[in-house]
């Protein structure tokens, strides 16, 4: 999370979106957007703040942690949303890790239930699903609909309890009708599509798509000012602009570069960029992912990063021919490599075109030496 003065509020976008969510015909939304573009930060810090300011109740639940029991995480977060708290207190609670066990009060206030949030929790029972429904009903308010924000929901697609949870959640949200606004997002767009966009998806046609506005000039200016506040000097604007463009407007990669440069004033902007990218790729285990790929996986990943047309036809054959002219894999081998990349979360589809899911990984792949593709 970018703290305090580093956080850039997307104010007009947030206000318009909030207005549309409260007054429009739809009550459920899926937030799509490239990786690390600030989806989570926008939901937690901008949308939730506006909703709280207008006295709507807000819950935020991230289903990321595989090692947690997803339904109990939901119950815990919905229970939290019912208790009176300031927005600052809520935000602080959302960004700290969850307890392993917790006591929650039933929405009617008559009983206390102990829930286990760890992975060793028993599978959900009928009672747990009833409790989920009871919380949704308690939060439902047609005059001021409660905002339920679900992050990393793609996890439900693969979790053993996921199917049952999704079905129960869908029923509860449907019953609550206009009293709840639900927003779903995640870090895997393929995973989200699998849950919301395919014909056989459990939430097919359930939510209206929402696209996060890209960060532009106003964000850039804001970060340059934040740099001055943090480090007491100005960053070289030309170099900063070049880096922002190099990161395709990605806030995280740009901020990391500003941080490195701020801490080490002796570094050139180029050195800071190299160090930032190196640190980032180590942290994200890019090298490990690379080693797990076979030659054809790598070639396909690289071609997708390059935007080669006709991956399975002539375009792909010609590109591969430049690396391994004597060994051009057949169409079906290329297709199966592409499916592997998709299954492993490396690539995803935007408007029908495949891209690498993580733009930082795409740049890393583009920088691999030719030897990695032969
Ligand atoms: N509005 C913002 N102002 C300043 N920095 C931001 C903003 N949004 C995002 N960032 C920076 O980018 C980082 C990544 O943001 P965030 O985790 O919200 O992205 P995301 O789209 O949810 O990523 P993922 O696809 O991995 O889920 C943040 O930790 C923060 O450093
Ligand atoms: Mg996120």
Summarize pLDDT for 249-302 with one digit per residue, the tens: 899 999 999 999 999 999 999 999 999 999 999 999 999 999 999 999 999 999
Together in a domain, 272 and 311 = no
**CB of residue 8 inside a 6 A radius of ligand 1:** yes
Together in a domain, 290 and 275 = no
Summarize pLDDT for 160-193 with one digit per residue, the tens: 899 999 999 999 999 998 999 999 999 888 888 8
**CB of residue 249 inside a 6 A radius of ligand 1:** no
Rounded percentage of the chain residues whose pLDDT exceeds 90: 81
Contacts of 15-21 with CB under 8 Å at 24 or more apart are 15/50, 17/47, 17/210, 18/47, 18/50, 18/51, 18/54, 21/147, 21/181, 21/183
**CB of residue 38 inside a 6 A radius of ligand 1:** yes
**CB of residue 32 inside a 6 A radius of ligand 1:** no
Together in a domain, 79 and 115 = yes
Residues 204-209: what's their mean pLDDT?
Answer: 90
Ligand 1 midpoint to CA 7 (Å):
9
Range of the domain at 234: 217-283
User: Where a domain ends, among 160, 190, 211?
Assistant: 211
Together in a domain, 228 and 200 = no
Residue of higher predicted confidence among 17 and 35: 17
CATH code assigned at 29: 3.40.50.300
Please state the pTM of the whole predicted model. Answer: 0.91
Ligand 1 atom closest to Cα of residue 151? 27
Which residues have a beta carbon within 5 Å of ligand 2, which is an ion?
39-40, 187
Give the pLDDT score at 119. Answer: 83
Ligand 2 midpoint to CA 35 (Å):
7
Together in a domain, 235 and 342 = no
C-alpha dihedral sign at 10, 49, 118, 193: negative
Together in a domain, 117 and 234 = no
Closest-CA residue to 237 (of 255, 212, 220) = 220
Together in a domain, 279 and 299 = no
Q: Is 241 helix (H, G, I), strand (E, B) or coil?
A: helix
Residues 70-98: what's their mean pLDDT?
Answer: 94
Give the pLDDT score at 26. Answer: 94
The residue contributing the CA closest to ligand 1 atom 1 is 8
Strands 101-105 and 112-116, bridge-based pairing:
antiparallel
Ligand 2 midpoint to CA 278 (Å):
22
Q: Is the confidence at residue 1, as pLDDT, over 70?
A: no
Together in a domain, 299 and 354 = yes
Q: Is the confidence at residue 148, as pLDDT, over 70?
A: yes
Q: Is the confidence at residue 41, as pLDDT, over 70?
A: yes
Give the pLDDT score at 298. Answer: 98
Q: Tokens 């696209």, residue?
A: 211
Ligand 2 midpoint to CA 44 (Å):
10
Q: How far is CA 321 from the centre of its chain?
A: 36
Together in a domain, 59 and 184 = yes
Residues 116-124: what's their mean pLDDT?
Answer: 90
Into how many domains does the chain fold?
Answer: 3
User: Where a domain ends, among 192, 211, 230?
Assistant: 211
Continuous H helices in 145-294? 155-158, 162-176, 189-196, 217-231, 237-246, 251-263, 269-283, 286-291
Together in a domain, 124 and 24 = yes
Q: 120: Cβ–Cβ under 8 A, 6 or more apart, which residues?
A: none
CATH code assigned at 321: 1.10.10
Residue 1 and residue 41 in contact, taking contact as beta carbons nearer than 8 Å: yes
Number of DSSP helices (H) and strands (E) in the chain, helices first: 18, 9
Q: Is the confidence at residue 333, as pLDDT, over 80?
A: yes
Q: Is the confidence at residue 103, as pLDDT, over 60?
A: yes
Together in a domain, 185 and 238 = no
Residue of higher predicted confidence among 195 and 223: 223
User: Where a domain ends, among 211, 244, 275?
Assistant: 211
DSSP state of 46: I
Residue 303 and residue 297 in contact, taking contact as beta carbons nearer than 8 Å: no
Together in a domain, 51 and 152 = yes
Give the pLDDT score at 3. Answer: 66
Instruction: Identify which of 111-115, 195-199, 293-297 has the greatest average pLDDT.
Output: 293-297
Strands (E), 10-94: 28-32, 58-62
Choose one of 41, 60, 244 to mutate for the ligand 1 pocket test, by most ligand atoms within 8 angstroms of C-beta: 41
The residue contributing the CA closest to ligand 1 atom 30 is 2
Give the pLDDT score at 65. Answer: 66
């Amino acid at each position: 999370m970018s703290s305090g003065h580093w956080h850039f509020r997307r104010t007009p976008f947030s206000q318009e979106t909030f207005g549309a969510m409260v007054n429009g015909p739809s009550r459920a939304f899926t937030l799509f957007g490239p990786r690390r573009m600030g989806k989570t930060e926008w939901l937690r810090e901008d949308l939730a703040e506006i909703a709280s300011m207008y006295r709507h109740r807000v819950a935020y639940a991230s289903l990321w942690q595989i090692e947690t029991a997803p339904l109990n995480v939901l119950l815990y977060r919905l229970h939290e949303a019912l208790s009176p708290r300031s927005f600052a207190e809520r935000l602080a609670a959302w960004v700290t890790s969850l307890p392993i066990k917790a006591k929650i009060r039933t929405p009617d206030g008559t009983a206390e239930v102990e829930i286990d949030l760890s992975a060793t929790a028993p599978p959900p029972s009928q009672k747990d699903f009833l409790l989920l429904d009871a919380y949704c009903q308690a939060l439902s308010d047609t005059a001021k609909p409660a905002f339920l924000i679900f992050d990393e929901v793609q996890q439900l697609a693969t979790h053993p309890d996921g199917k049952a949870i999704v079905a129960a959640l869908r029923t509860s949200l449907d019953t609550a009708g206009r009293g709840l606004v639900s927003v779903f997002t995640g870090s895997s767009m393929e995973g989200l599509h699998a849950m919301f966009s395919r014909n056989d998806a459990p939430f097919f046609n359930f939510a209206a798509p929402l696209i996060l506005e890209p960060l532009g000039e106003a964000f850039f200016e804001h970060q340059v000012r934040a740099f001055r506040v943090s480090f007491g000097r100005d960053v070289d604007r030309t170099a900063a602009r070049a880096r922002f463009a190099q990161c395709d407007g990605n806030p995280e990669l740009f901020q990391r570069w500003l941080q490195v440069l701020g801490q080490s004033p002796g570094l050139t902007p180029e050195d800071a960029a190299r160090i930032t990218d190196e640190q980032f790729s180590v942290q994200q285990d890019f090298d490990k992912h690379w080693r797990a790929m076979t030659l054809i996986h790598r070639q396909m990943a690289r071609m997708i990063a390059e935007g080669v047309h006709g991956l399975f036809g002539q375009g792909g054959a010609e590109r591969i021919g430049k690396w391994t002219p004597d060994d051009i894999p057949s169409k079906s081998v290329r297709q199966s490599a592409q499916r592997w990349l998709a299954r492993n979360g490396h690539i995803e589809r935007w408007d029908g075109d495949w891209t690498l899911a993580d733009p930082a990984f795409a740049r890393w792949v583009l920088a691999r030496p030719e030897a990695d593709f032969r």
